Amino acid sequence: MEKARRKEREFNLRRADILDAAVKIFAAKGFHNATVAEIAASSGFAIGTLYQFFAGKEQLYSALLTEKLTAMYAAIRAAVGGASDIVGKIEQLVDSQFRFVEENAEFCGIFVRGDYLSLSEGSAELRAGIRRDYARHVAFIAEVLRTGIRAGVLREMDPTTMATALTGIVNSYASQWIALAETESLRRKTSSALAIFLEGVRR
Amino acid sequence: MEKARRKEREFNLRRADILDAAVKIFAAKGFHNATVAEIAASSGFAIGTLYQFFAGKEQLYSALLTEKLTAMYAAIRAAVGGASDIVGKIEQLVDSQFRFVEENAEFCGIFVRGDYLSLSEGSAELRAGIRRDYARHVAFIAEVLRTGIRAGVLREMDPTTMATALTGIVNSYASQWIALAETESLRRKTSSALAIFLEGVRR
Amino acid sequence: MEKARRKEREFNLRRADILDAAVKIFAAKGFHNATVAEIAASSGFAIGTLYQFFAGKEQLYSALLTEKLTAMYAAIRAAVGGASDIVGKIEQLVDSQFRFVEENAEFCGIFVRGDYLSLSEGSAELRAGIRRDYARHVAFIAEVLRTGIRAGVLREMDPTTMATALTGIVNSYASQWIALAETESLRRKTSSALAIFLEGVRR
Amino acid sequence: MEKARRKEREFNLRRADILDAAVKIFAAKGFHNATVAEIAASSGFAIGTLYQFFAGKEQLYSALLTEKLTAMYAAIRAAVGGASDIVGKIEQLVDSQFRFVEENAEFCGIFVRGDYLSLSEGSAELRAGIRRDYARHVAFIAEVLRTGIRAGVLREMDPTTMATALTGIVNSYASQWIALAETESLRRKTSSALAIFLEGVRR
DNA sequence: GATGAATGAGGCTTCATTCAT
DNA sequence: TATGAATGAAGCCTCATTCAT
């Protein structure tokens, strides 16, 4: 059936419209201060319509976080996979994350704003899922770094600790960029972040 | 009047009791899921009594954040001031922050949990204040680092960017420690963080 | 036109299908907890289609009650009309009602469940109609009994009161049977009900 | 503490006020068409206040039914206990039930209206409880009648069936009285009901 | 000063009904 | 004619705040 196809495509488009509207509101006001009515109005649908796409406010929020983060992690892995040498991989790590932040500034604002997890106690599931995915991401980075250590390019050091430092630097640059609503490209900072991580700041 | 003194001292003690109870609740459930009734019960006061110490829930939360952060920044400055050379200052920067996190794990959990800013739109004031203080903190660190650059110890590089990287590393270590509820002292990680920041990870 | 005939017949068949599906749902969950979507799904029609047969949920419910009850009253009258003597008529009264309950257990469950009248204030009409029909039914029974009194078979007593007692006994037997989901035939109880009504329980 | 006493008494008074207001509304409009706001307004409290006395709308309704029915069953048992001979006991059974109906016409209207059980599927508990209590009541009546059979006063017959018939007659009289909003005392009908139950209608 | 019961605005969600396809 | 996605009014409930005791 051709019809079913089109239906599904339209469904996904509308769903994406809602998510787009929701990101803006959630990023601007936080989970609790955003109202379903507001998101509905902003997405151009009636309140009831949202409930045909998402089972509730929390599920909408949850879908937002989960899907975007999944995409981000995937993009980063793809970028890293495209580089051949260690340093290139680390550079891609930083650069692809910066690219994602630039392209999803509003979404990332949720994290800088800080309320990405202020949900009812019920949804420990989402919290756990996000944390698990983050842990996996750090583990992935650690694995990349471990290769560098084995290759003798990086210092002998716990790779997870190294990965923690790297994500810290990257997140901090990104947070600054978002918080200050800087217009200059964040990606220009890639080399700076990379340099500090690789060479340190001591002369 | 001696009486007025005692009154004030008692007032401050009670106020601190409330804040202590509030930290635990806010850290455990987030701003919106914590109820005033809960905080009152946990602090041993009646609901109405809380309103004699704080004008409202947001103000209580605000006081909590502001005062703790002020103390933290002050502690860091004091620690840095106690060191004479650049590297020692940077070490104190890291170490004193780690110490604060260790001693205020619950409070810092608020930040890792992420909802430190999920307030009503009205309190943009608090948000702005926290951001301003953070910016000042970064500026302070940048100033320390600038001295290091001038002294030829650190690389020629934008000191604010350097400071951003440093706070990123420190926060990332701290977040990991809190999120994983690690028991081992966070301060043991000081040298590791310092090494990465100063020397980088490249062999 | 032959076509119009077939159309009408089809219309009535579909209508009956919907009513059949509706009885089950209403009986199981009550008027308010049953949803139109549920009835539509269960009857195999689309939601919108239901509205071509019934003007609304209440009207559907109303039609259900009215038509079934009308059929029941008619069946009872027919049965009573088939008997020649008073006692035979009363026996038919009881027996035909029991038969209807057995054959329409789900429908009667609506009454035992109790929400046959929990409608919006608007539909006082239906309420009134059902009550009127019930009053007529009681009046009909009273008339039958009056004949018995005149014939000297029954005690001198207000026939309406007698009729009230009889319907009470019958309804009570039926309710028990439905509530306990008994498998044994309810009609076996006809003689028992009749005996109590006619002879009483005193030895 | 004298204070706690008074508090509790006041609490119960207010609670009773709410129940009184609720009976009227529920009886007039049914469970689903009655709104919490309406009950609150009618009882002179704010909406939120109701929730300090009852956990929710269903619990309020549930308390209403449970408490009233418990009182009714208790009153009936007390009345029956006060009679010495079988016939006197049966008479008390009928009379005390009629008295309760007269004194609680509004409440009993809930049953005549019929929606006493149209609750969400969740509260099967209440439904089960009411049915259990009713079964116990019938069993109690059956026990009384069994004594009459043993004493040779009543016919040899299944006492539960007899009890079913008796409750049917009584309920039917009561329903008529409520439905027709008759002003004449229902208790005058006690002897009529008793006569039919004991002697039947056959001359 | 301390208390905590009362308040009621505001949020999330449901579902009967409509109407464009 | 049949469909079922969209609609939005209306209801239940929460909880920060007040104020009479």
| pLDDT at site B1 | 61
In DSSP terms, D154 is beta-bridged to: C202
- Can you tell me which residue has its alpha carbon closest to the C1' of nucleotide E7? D46
What Rg value do the Cα atoms of chain D yield, rounded?
A: 19
Of the residues A16, A39, A54, the one at which a domain ends: A54
In this complex, the residue of C29, C120, C172 whose CB is nearest that of residue D168 is C172
C65 and C158 both lie in a single domain? yes
A37 and A61 both lie in a single domain? no
C36 closest-nt by C1' vs CA: E16
Q: Do residues D18 and D54 make contact, with C-beta atoms less than 8 angstroms apart?
A: yes
Which tokens sit at D134?
Answer: 């009713």
- Measured to protein CB atoms, the chain F nucleotides within 7 Å are 1-20
B93 and B48 both lie in a single domain? no
Specify the amino acid at residue A201. V
A24 and A79 both lie in a single domain? no
How many structural domains compose chain C?
A: 2
SS3 A156: coil
Domain of residue D3, residue span: 1-54
Q: What is the mean pLDDT of residues A29-39?
A: 94
D101 and D195 both lie in a single domain? yes
| Backbone region of residue C77 per phi and psi (left: phi > 0; alpha: psi in -120 to 50; beta: other values) | alpha
Interface list for D 132-171 with C (CB within 8 A) = 145, 152-158, 161-162, 164-165, 167-171
Determine the Cα–Cα distance for residues D126 and B145; give it in Å rounded to an integer. Answer: 71
B129 and B117 both lie in a single domain? yes
Q: Do residues D67 and D46 make contact, with C-beta atoms less than 8 angstroms apart?
A: no
B1 and B20 both lie in a single domain? yes
Residue B120, burial from CB neighbour count under 10 angstroms (0-12, 13-18, 19+): middle
Which of C100, C187, C93 is CA-nearest to residue C141? C93
Determine the Cα–Cα distance for residues B126 and B117; give it in Å rounded to an integer. Answer: 8
In DSSP terms, D202 is beta-bridged to: C154
B5 and B84 both lie in a single domain? no
Which tokens sit at C68?
Answer: 């079934």
Q: What is the 3-state secondary structure (H, E, C) of A18-66?
A: HHHHHHHHHHHHHHHHCCHHHHHHHHCCCHHHHHHHCCCHHHHHHHHHH
Of the residues A54, A72, A99, the one at which a domain ends: A54
Which of A186, A183, A184, A143 is CA-nearest to residue A166? A143
**pLDDT tens digits, A103-148:** 999 999 888 766 666 676 667 788 888 889 999 999 999 999 999 9
A23 and A64 both lie in a single domain? no
> Residues in chain C with pLDDT < 50?
none
Place of tokens 């919290």: A127
Tens of each residue's pLDDT in chain B, 203 residues: 677 778 788 888 999 999 999 999 999 888 999 999 999 999 999 999 999 999 999 999 999 999 999 999 999 999 999 999 999 999 999 999 999 999 999 999 888 766 666 676 667 788 888 889 999 999 999 999 999 999 999 999 999 999 999 999 999 999 999 988 888 899 999 999 999 999 999 98
A76 and A145 both lie in a single domain? yes
Give the CATH number for residue A2.
1.10.10.60
SS3 C188: helix
Residue C198: list chain D partners with CB under 8 A.
200-202
**pLDDT tens digits, D104-130:** 999 998 887 666 666 776 677 888 888
Q: Note the CA–C1' distance, D82 to E9, in angstroms.
A: 55
SS3 A202: strand
Which ranges in chain C belong to alpha helices (H)? 2-33, 36-43, 47-53, 57-81, 86-103, 105-113, 124-150, 159-179, 190-199
Q: Note the CA–C1' distance, A115 to F19, in angstroms.
A: 35
Which of D46, D45, D44, D42 is CA-nearest to residue D25? D42
| pLDDT at site D183 | 83
| pLDDT at site A114 | 63
Interface list for C 52-91 with D (CB within 8 A) = none
Alpha carbon B108 to its chain centroid, in Å, reads 7
| pLDDT at site A171 | 95
| pLDDT at site D5 | 76
A61 and A36 both lie in a single domain? no
D133 and D177 both lie in a single domain? yes
In this complex, the residue of C115, C156, C203 whose CB is nearest that of residue D114 is C115
Determine the Cα–Cα distance for residues C105 and C174; give it in Å rounded to an integer. Answer: 9
| pLDDT at site C8 | 80
Determine the Cα–Cα distance for residues A97 and A187; give it in Å rounded to an integer. Answer: 9
Determine the Cα–Cα distance for residues C145 and C163; give it in Å rounded to an integer. Answer: 7
Give the CATH number for residue A123.
1.10.357.10
Q: Is it the case that residue A191 has pLDDT exceeding 90?
A: yes
Of the residues A35, A54, A73, the one at which a domain ends: A54
